[in-house]
């Protein structure tokens, strides 16, 4: 079995998950972790893996087949994506949906110039969920497809709570509404909006003597984040927040439905769902499988930016095409 040599850029929650995921795949070996911090300050789980400063990465072009970019979408990837795609095959989980087209273009240019493959936005949404949206739309063109998120922690909404005066801690769970999920399955109300589909459940720690009524009102009326949604606020102590709300679960549902038959008499429902105890660790699993695909596509002579829409599913597996047909088709 050939060995795919992997590098990781960025060692946060996702980067740590990638280290574990690479270790779980016998056809891969972790060659190094690259960080913008002082390398001596970063301790990886496998002590035999070298930790280097990102500035040293360019010198490792011959030693790494695929670099997995584990940084954030807000500031890390817009710079690192094109920078590393000009040097390595890369994979990332860029997730700012609205800016994907421009990010794709910038990474595509860099990767083509270097004859490298760059798989962008390869997490679960964007990523696996996106694939299911495309399949549902292609198979049931007159149907509708809805994406529900949760139950899971939304980092953006949790941050928004914590910016309110008097708040010292907070976690927001996005929860899909059962009734809306039922409507999506039976094909009613094709145009469900996000606020009709989700509940926002907030656990908030406040300073002593803070005005809870004012804080609850500020959360529930915050434009864009909460105002349009059914929003529940529960005040908890700092200890409760740490004990019960410090893990990072997430998940969701992509529900496609449509009618077939001469009189549209048959309802057909496709559903893909994830229930994840750890969002970053699962994202790391997706990134690692797509690293294998990037390696293969590069070997086939492909180049440029790719998304989950461009990658044949068989490329994710360590099994050969013949094994896959025999064992899993």
Binding site for its own copies (CB under 8 A): 17, 20-21, 24-25, 45, 97, 100-101, 104, 121, 126, 128, 130-135, 137-142, 185, 251, 260-262, 265-278, 281-282, 284-286, 289, 292, 307-314, 316-319, 321-322, 324-326, 328-329
Closest distance of CB 8 from its own copies, Å = 16
Closest distance of CB 312 from its own copies, Å = 5
Closest distance of CB 121 from its own copies, Å = 6
The two structure tokens encoding residue 139: 């198979």
Residue 89 to residue 298: CA distance in whole angstroms: 7
Which residue shows structure tokens 């005066």? 165
Nearer to its own copies, 141 or 209 (CB): 141
Nearer to its own copies, 20 or 52 (CB): 20
| CB-based contact 291:93 (threshold 8 Å) | no
Closest distance of CB 246 from its own copies, Å = 13
Cβ neighbours for 14, distance < 8 A, ≥ 6 positions apart: 70, 93, 280, 283, 284, 287
Cβ neighbours for 185, distance < 8 A, ≥ 6 positions apart: 255, 257, 269, 271
Residue 104 to residue 306: CA distance in whole angstroms: 8
Closest distance of CB 207 from its own copies, Å = 33
Nearer to its own copies, 157 or 292 (CB): 292
b/e code 220-235 from CB counts within 10 Å (16+ = b): bebeebbeebebbbeb
Nearer to its own copies, 24 or 74 (CB): 24
Bridge partner residues of 306 (DSSP): 119
Closest distance of CB 42 from its own copies, Å = 16
Nearer to its own copies, 104 or 173 (CB): 104
Largest CA distance in the chain: 68
Nearer to its own copies, 143 or 169 (CB): 143
């Amino acid at each position: 079995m050939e060995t795919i040599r992997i590098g990781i850029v960025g060692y946060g929650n996702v980067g740590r998950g990638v280290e574990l995921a690479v270790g779980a795949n016998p056809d891969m070996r972790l060659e190094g972790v690259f960080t913008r911090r002082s390398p001596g300050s970063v301790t990886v789980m496998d002590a035999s893996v070298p930790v280097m400063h990102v500035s040293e990465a360019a010198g490792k072009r011959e030693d790494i087949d695929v670099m997995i970019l584990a940084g954030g979408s807000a500031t890390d990837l817009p710079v690192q994506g094109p920078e590393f795609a000009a040097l390595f095959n890369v994979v990332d989980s860029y997730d700012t949906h609205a800016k994907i087209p421009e990010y794709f273009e910038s990474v595509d240019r860099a990767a083509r110039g270097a004859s490298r493959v760059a798989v962008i936005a390869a997490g679960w949404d964007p990523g696996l969920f996106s694939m299911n949206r495309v399949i549902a739309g292609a198979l049931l063109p007159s149907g509708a497809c809805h994406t529900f998120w949760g139950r899971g922690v939304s980092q953006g909404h949790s941050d928004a709570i914590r910016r309110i005066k008097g708040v010292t801690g907070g976690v927001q769970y996005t929860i899909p509404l059962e009734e809306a999920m039922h409507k999506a399955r039976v094909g009613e109300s094709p145009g469900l909006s996000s606020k009709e589909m989700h509940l926002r459940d907030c656990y908030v720690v406040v300073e002593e003597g803070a005005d809870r009524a004012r804080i609850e009102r500020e959360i529930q009326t915050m434009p864009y984040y909460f105002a349009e949604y059914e929003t529940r606020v529960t005040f908890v102590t700092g200890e409760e927040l740490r004990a019960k709300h410090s893990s990072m679960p997430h998940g969701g549902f992509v529900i496609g439905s449509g009618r077939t038959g001469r009189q549209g008499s048959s309802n057909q429902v496709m559903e893909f769902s994830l229930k994840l105890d750890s969002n970053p660790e699962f994202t790391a699993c997706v990134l690692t499988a797509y690293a294998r695909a990037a390696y293969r596509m590069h070997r086939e002579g492909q180049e440029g930016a790719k998304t989950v829409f461009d990658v044949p599913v068989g490329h994710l597996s360590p099994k050969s095409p013949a094994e896959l047909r025999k064992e899993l088709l």
